[in-house]
Amino acid sequence: MPSDYVVVGSGSAGAALAFRLAEAGRTVTVIEAGGTDWGPFIQMPAALSYPMNMKRYDWGFESEPEPQLNNRRLVVPRGKVIGGSSSVNGMVWVRGHARDYDHWAEQGARGWAYADVLPYFRRIEHWHGPQASDWRGDSGPMHIRRARQWNPLFHAFVEAGRQAGYPVTEDYNGQQQEGFGAFDMSVWKGRRWSTANAYLRPALKTGRVRLVHGHARRVVFEDGRAVGVEIARRGKVETIRAGREVVLSASSINTPKLLMLSGIGPAAHLAEHGIEVRADRPGVGQNLQDHLEVYIQFAARKPITLFRYWNLVGKALIGAQWLFTRTGHGASNQFESCGFVRSAAGVDYPDIQFHFLPIAVRYDGRAAAEGHGFQVHTGPMRSPSRGAVTLRSADPGAPPVIRFNYMSREEDWRDFRRVLRLTREIFAQPAMAEHVRHEIQPGAAAQDDAALDAFIREHAESAYHPCGTARMGAADDPMAVVDPECQVIGVEGLRVADSSVFPRVTNGNTNAPSILVGEKAADLILGRAPLPRDERAPWIHKAWQTAQR
């Protein structure tokens, strides 16, 4: 007996979707290529740099050589484990700005404006903040806590933002995103609170959801309708059938790949690979977006950074404390202070994000050679550059071709230079004077445009927020892949619910918006009336047209 629904992917959106469908009494089969998330590398928040660099948990994707970044290939981590990328991400909880969703609606995603999605964010959350807020949820599956900002550097960074003339926000996920403050993180009782923990395990306990470990190869159609998914497992190929619908929640990299392997995509590209065209949708795989960032690093005057633990004994002590008590430095992602600012007058809402970290270190775990230091991860939030995910071959086992085309527009360079200069201004404030010994990178000598551009080419990295490759839009939009009901245009019985459907990348980390898609898609699939709109207006700087801060 087939399940009512087959969902491909147990990640941010897929797990939320399965949970809500099961809650409504439907049966669901979730197909996941990865294995268990058990173990400290995933569950300990401070170990976040490990799982995204482990073949056991990561798909191992990388981009094609990026022409504007010295032809470097950039890694594109995606979670290959239950919980998907929510099990390997940085656990930074950012809804995005209200204007992001209003833009989605303007682009044809009717029903996805901020007033439409705010009630869903509240349904998602169980917020453990310093005080109750009716902008936040208090009983949802995702436990979200406010960072405790344990290190003096976290407070100094926020104070430096205030001294530079920016506001301090009490809750960037509430009414006012713009400003500096403490980060929220998806951590609960010292553990990573992934969608595997929040949604998938409770869904499995209902008995209406089953988890099948296998590699999805293509969607199976009969008479123009999706009826199942062909998977490879245990050395055999089989079909998992769906009684009602198939939903792809396989990531912004694997979802377009699956659509194209199933005959849905740009007709000429499919023909190149000998794939029969089922629906000519030129937007499949296009519109690829991401956030590009650099680490601006400083040497510290005082030995108060996390570098004191950056040795075998220090890491063992942190690990042991976490293992036995779920407390201490191991219970934090260490991204505990943040900022959201506008890059120029005339920009109506923030387009720069700062992640502050009290150590100078890379995502791959390599610390700066100078010892004690700290850094801020930053970059523009709304790059106009667009890339694509395309097929390498018709072999389902072959990785797709990923081209971001980073920094391919002149505006990218202008905006990134502005980010670097505004960041330096913040770190030059009195609050940071007692902490900054000197700038490690880009380094004080890098001042003119050419030097900054060279630094960007050599050091810019992905923030790991790829999205947009199956864009949502009006059904008559030739570049849209799904309609506002998340239905794939041109076929029946098939939907997409993950970050692929974003018309444009949101302002911040993309985990929370991805879960939003799964939550809202569940109501659409069930034919339920959407949650009542919340018409409250976000805070917008009253002088945004004439003032940068």
Position of tokens 């056991």? 56
- Among 185, 182, 184, smallest CA distance to 154 is for 182
Q: How far is CA 340 from the centre of its chain?
A: 16
**The pair of three-digit structure tokens given for residue 90, joined into one six-digit string:** 């940085």
Looking at 103, 377, 465, 541, which residue is catalytic? 465
Active site residue 128: no
Residue 313: which residues within 8 A CB-CB, separation 6 or more? Answer: none
Q: Give Rg (Cα) of the chain.
A: 22
Q: Rounded distance, CA 521 to CA 525, Å?
A: 6
Q: At a CB cut-off of 8 Å and minimum separation 6, what does 1 contact? A: none
Nearest to 258 by CA among 495, 61, 79, 34: 495
Question: In 480-506, which positions are buried (b, 16+ CB within 10 angstroms) versus exposed (e)?
Answer: bbbbbebbbbebebbbbbbbbbbbbbb
β-bridge partners, 532? none
Contact 15, 37 (CB under 8 A): no
Sign of CA dihedral 144, 512, 382, 47: positive
Alpha helices in 10-97 (DSSP H): 12-23, 40-43
Strand pairing report for 209-213 and 28-32? parallel
How many other C-beta atoms are found inside a 10 Å radius of the C-beta of residue 135? 20
C-alpha distances in Å from residue 21, one per residue of 26, 27, 111, 315, 528:
5, 7, 20, 41, 11
Q: Of 208, 184, 204, which is closest to residue 195 (Cα–Cα)? A: 204
Distance in angstroms (rounded) separating the CA atoms of residues 544 and 174: 19
Residue 513 in tokens:
């918006």
Cα gap 12→177, rounded to integer Å: 23
Give the torsion sign (CA, 484, 2, 230, 14).
positive
Q: Which residues pair with 138 in a beta bridge?
A: 126
Beta bridge partners of 160: none
> What is each CA distance from 265 to 259, 281, 341, 505, in whole angstroms?
7, 4, 38, 21
Give the separation between CA 482 and CA 501, rounded to whole angstroms.
7
Angstrom distances, CA of residue 372 to CA of 98, 159, 264, 336, 438: 38, 21, 52, 18, 11
- Can you tell me the distance from the alpha carbon of 351 to that of 465, in angstroms, rounded to the nearest whole number? 15
Q: Which residues are catalytic?
A: 465
